[in-house]
Structure 1
């Protein structure tokens, strides 16, 4: 295992044929079904984020063509549309929930001119967790972390973890930075809070050389057909950009 592809989804459902903007926020249900079938037909192995982290640490082995599925924000349409498809295939997935907005809407999109959508409430999140899906943290209020003062970053990451653990009655070990917005302060706060992994919006496959708290992903959008997803999984390159790494003295993964 030299690389793992972590796919990033947001909403799954029935949408207008071509959304005018922010197409990475949407995946049409028929295309989602086709993508999940393609993974099985072409021999890809959908693994949990826990299994991927263990492999990236060198603690376990995964087969080649390993893929992780992640869903940002915790929309109700994950429960309504994505979960039944995933369960039918026996695929694990991680849902990143905004701890302070459970049962509300994604109000942060209002400034971008997008229609707000409902987020899962406590009962729905527990239902998804009981189905076997992993729940991760997406902060308390979904801010751009790099715009905040350090104490607020610490609170957004620490409090969201505690809140979700209270809801679920178990450990929450995975974090996703809203908008992919993070800097060394956010990464250090995530480490101090006890997160095992953190995912970003940097495009590319995850490798053992990555810090586990700044893992790259590949975004799936409304225009991504099953064929296009196949080519995305074949791509081994990474988007240009400076990776944020911690000086932990614990090797390239920092864990």
Structure 2
């Protein structure tokens, strides 16, 4: 630990200024399900907070180009994204965004758009928005989880089927909007190491739903985004997220796995590549279990032995630590799991 504390003092002199936060929205509405919604009035407060506190809202393409070229962006940069192409993004969200001239991205499902539902954006509306500079990206042909392999189908068969679906969705988006970024958002945020490799093999970058800031060394098959729908839409919560720093933590070998039956996984280990924090101030919380005890192995590795079995469903472990060099800011890392029932069945979506 003494080495880490000394290294932290040196690291302060060399810390990168690169830190971007991606916000994830769905509905901008007072009448849609709370868990995927933010009210128009609260969304306006979010956008005004960005303006009042000198955050620079950038296009998703600018962020991805920065990672590709390893070129730093402004320290307080933010990307705004929406999932699912709901109509209220246009009717309620875009007028607020336009007041600030903020760029944004919408991840869409072409198969759902083509159903011509009154609740979703049409291709005509999406084309007009695309021509206005909105990035239109891939959320899958439908909204099917990629990790839920049907009975009787092998992983190879499943990936082959989804390759066709993914590329077809990208082709349709290009034909309808004139855009093809090869950006993909995981439906329900569910993924596995096999799916990550498949994303890379198909030359896509992918966005998840676990929390955390983005840095130049962020894994581009699981780029984190902060969900900011209810109940995570209050300004104090938004402030903490916007001031997050990318926590350079590596998850290796069996610790990369994301899918377990309940009770199957009992611990996880992480390797830390940043020294700008005091180890005693590192705290990790698992959804449903609360704060967990951390056991250090040397200066760069720590383990969490879960205080109880991980609950069934989508589970997160969030680890944060205050920065030494930038007081008031926290390193933030999130590890997701998708925990099946004891009998191996999936939880409901």
Partner of residue 126, structure 2 = 125
Partner of residue 185, structure 2 = 176
Partner of residue 4, structure 1 = 20
CA contact (8 A) 1:24 1:222 kept: yes
1:216 to 210, 218, 224: 224
CA contact (8 A) 1:153 1:186 kept: no
Give 5+ residue unaligned stretches, structure 2: 1-16, 150-157, 245-330, 338-349
CA contact (8 A) 2:214 2:223 kept: yes
Cα pair distance change 1:105/1:144, threshold 3 Å = farther
How many residues end up aligned between the 2 structures?
226
Moved more, 233-242 or 220-229: 233-242
Instruction: Please say which structure displays the higher CA radius of gyration.
Output: 2
Cα deviation, 1:124-172, whole Å, max 9, x if unaligned, reads: 1112112211000000011010113222221232111111111112323
Alignment of 1:143-162 (within 5 A): 143-148=144-149, 149-162=158-171
1:52 partnered with 2:63: yes
CA contact (8 A) 1:150 1:185 kept: no
Task: Please state whether the residue corresponding to 1:201 is helix, strand or coil.
Answer: coil
Cα pair distance change 1:4/1:154, threshold 3 Å = same
Cα deviation, 1:86-106, whole Å, max 9, x if unaligned, reads: 111011111001011115378
- Give how far 1:35 is off: 0.4
1:65 partnered with 2:66: no
Task: Please state whether the residue corresponding to 1:229 is helix, strand or coil.
Answer: helix
TM-score, normalised on structure 1? Answer: 0.82
Partner of residue 324, structure 2 = none
1:80 partnered with 2:91: yes
TM-score, normalised on structure 2? Answer: 0.61
CA contact (8 A) 2:18 2:74 kept: no
Query: What is the root-mean-square deviation in Å for CA atoms of aligned residues?
Result: 2.0
User: Which has more helix, going by share of residues?
Assistant: 1
1:27 to 28, 38, 41: 38
- Give how far 1:64 is off: 0.8
Alignment of 1:216-255 (within 5 A): 216-223=224-231, 224-235=233-244, 236-241=331-336
Task: Please state whether the residue corresponding to 2:209 is helix, strand or coil.
Answer: strand
CA contact (8 A) 2:209 2:226 kept: yes
Partner of residue 101, structure 2 = 90
Cα deviation, 1:8-47, whole Å, max 9, x if unaligned, reads: 100112237xx5xxx3300110000000000010011111
2:31 to 15, 18, 23: 15
CA contact (8 A) 2:70 2:216 kept: no
CA contact (8 A) 1:157 1:189 kept: no
1:167 to 158, 176, 184: 176
Structure with greater contact order relative to length (CA < 8 Å, sep ≥ 6) = 1
Task: Please state whether the residue corresponding to 2:335 is helix, strand or coil.
Answer: coil
CA contact (8 A) 1:98 1:160 kept: yes
Task: Please state whether the residue corresponding to 2:333 is helix, strand or coil.
Answer: coil
